[in-house]
Amino acid sequence: MDSRISARMLSAALGGWRTREPAYEALADGIRLLCLDNRLAPRTALPAERELAASLGLSRTTVAAAYRSLRDSAHIESTRGSGSVTLPLRREDPGKASSIEGTIDLQQASPPAWPGLTGVFADVASSAAALVSRVGYDVIGRHDLREAIADHYAQRGIPTVASEILVTTGAQSAIHLLASVLLGRGDRVLIETPTYPHAADALRRAGARLVGVPVTTEDGWDIDRAEQAFARTLPVLAYLMPDFQNPTGRSMSAYERDSLVRAGERIGAILLVDETTADLDIDRLAAPPAIVAEDPTTIVRIGSLGKTVWGGLRVGWIRAESDLIRRLTAARSTQDLGTPEFEQAVAAALFPLMPEIVVQRSHLLRQGRDALTAALSLRLPEWSVPCTAGGVSLWVGLDAPLSASLVMEARSRGLLLSAGPRFSVDGGHDRHLRIPFTAPPEELVRAADVLAEAWPRVRAGAPLTMVDHVEALV
């Protein structure tokens, strides 16, 4: 059965969609972007024209024209009496820019594989006879890998034993599993905004009601808002990314870490600490201490090798007290039956090499960050380009709330990006653009060139009232 999205929910997801004229094409582009970002899954039934028109304050004619434009570009299909549904994107879809030579895809913020990975694969494959004699997957994880992960935590000052580790098929799998076990429908979850969108999607899928707490590149976490949100909404869980937060690249200070732990402890909330980017340090002088609590059962950590080693190595983990690990293990079979043996063997072989891997990643990411920062500052001086000491991306401030329009224009020029609202919990961030610096420096310079060429056209096509309002604020 097709899923449905109400007019109210679609209006909220569109955010500041009216960024150019004519209005029907701006609306069509807003829906296209939701499809391209997978915020509107294929075969989702759209609201009736009259309902969406009423929700957006438009004429039905305008919405009808937008739907017609979406049909022409094969993003939706409409059937008389049944309404309109979104379609799977075709490989030749011009919205995917696949026909443009030299397309730069910066939608995924993952570095290329660590150069030594091929050799590790070869070494592990040489013992294939022993591996294939086993079942092939493991619901809790190989003991040697869990011990290696536990040692990794111990080196960070977090005493851990293998029974406190569950190996998963990547961090996303870990988030889904934790959400299914720890949350009930209607439970509130505190979450940063902007945030990692797939985490927000997983929490919503479990029925959670998300409560956003702002984090910015300039000021970090809004601790006053966070403490008020903890006390007022009594969340069951708080999802936090304390080191090189995705997408802002900001890291929590010791004060921010302590304040959030105390706020969670006062109400008994579990802090779900996402550390998938914690090792991606470029030039931070000293890492703040890890998040810890007096009651260790209130801290659950997740990590993975996706960002540090290779996105194609689907190995992640959960670090929690043994009782919760047992609950998660018992519940896992409804999601998957375990992590493949071969990938676990590769991961176990990689942990002794982690110091070498981290140094190489730091060098790679520094090259990309510095090239992108310099190119954007030179070509688009009106933008706010932040300084970040690590992570995988820049959370760039635009001088007008036209992020979605810029992404669509850049896409037509062969540059694929995700707009700021994709990372929002409750709307907004139209003035921001996430630009990963994980691609080769020469590609990042070309990306800056594309953005510099596209931005004047996007601003020129925006409604005058929007541009006038922005200029009045400057």
Q: For the domain that residue 381 is a member of, what is the CATH number?
A: 3.90.1150.10
Q: How confident is the model at residue 335 (pLDDT cuts 50, 70, 90)?
A: confident
Q: Are residues 11 and 59 in the same domain?
A: yes
Q: Are residues 228 and 331 in the same domain?
A: yes
Q: The domain spanning residue 59 has which CATH number?
A: 1.10.10.10
Nearest alpha-carbon partner for 313 in 461, 467, 114, 132: 114
pLDDT tens track for 238-279: 999 999 999 999 999 999 999 999 999 999 999 999 999 999
Q: Is the confidence at residue 94, as pLDDT, over 50? A: no
Q: Are residues 180 and 36 in the same domain?
A: no
Q: Per the confidence metrics, is the pTM higher than 0.85? A: yes
Residue 265 forms part of a structural domain: yes
Q: Are residues 24 and 57 in the same domain?
A: yes
Q: Are residues 365 and 318 in the same domain?
A: no
Residue after which a domain boundary falls, among 353, 374, 402: 353
| Cβ-contact 168, 181 below 8 angstroms | no
Which strands sit side by side in the sheet containing 3-4, from one edge to the other?
A: 3-4, 44-45, 83-86, 76-79
Residue after which a domain boundary falls, among 335, 353, 371: 353
Q: Is the confidence at residue 474, as pLDDT, over 50? A: no
Reduced to 3 states, what is the DSSP secondary structure of residue 96? Answer: helix
pLDDT tens track for 125-147: 998 877 777 776 788 999 999 99
Structurally, how many domains does the chain consist of?
Answer: 3
Q: Are residues 198 and 347 in the same domain?
A: yes
Residue 98 forms part of a structural domain: no
Q: Identify the domain containing residue 12 by its residue range.
A: 3-90
Q: Are residues 155 and 197 in the same domain?
A: yes
Q: How confident is the model at residue 302 (pLDDT cuts 50, 70, 90)?
A: very high
Q: Are residues 204 and 176 in the same domain?
A: yes
Q: Are residues 66 and 192 in the same domain?
A: no
Identity at 305, one-letter amino acid code: L
> Interior CA angle at 179 toward 246 and 255, to 5°?
45
| % of the chain surpassing 90 pLDDT | 78
> To 10 degrees, what angle do helices 341-350 and 117-125 make?
130
> To 10 degrees, what angle do helices 60-72 and 49-56 make?
120
Residue 247 forms part of a structural domain: yes
Residue 374 forms part of a structural domain: yes
Q: How far apart are CA 446 and CA 372, in angstroms?
A: 9
Residue 212 forms part of a structural domain: yes
Reduced to 3 states, what is the DSSP secondary structure of residue 51? Answer: helix
Q: The domain spanning residue 141 has which CATH number?
A: 3.40.640.10
Residue 191 forms part of a structural domain: yes
Q: How far apart are CA 83 and CA 28, in angstroms?
A: 16
- Provide the pLDDT for residue 472: 46
Residue 97 forms part of a structural domain: no
What count of other Cβ atoms lies within 10 Å of the Cβ of residue 4? 13
pLDDT tens track for 29-71: 999 989 988 889 899 999 999 999 999 999 999 999 999 999 9
Q: Are residues 318 and 230 in the same domain?
A: yes
Q: Are residues 156 and 130 in the same domain?
A: yes
Residue 128 forms part of a structural domain: yes
Mean pLDDT of the 398-410 span:
94
Q: What is the mean pLDDT of the chain?
A: 91
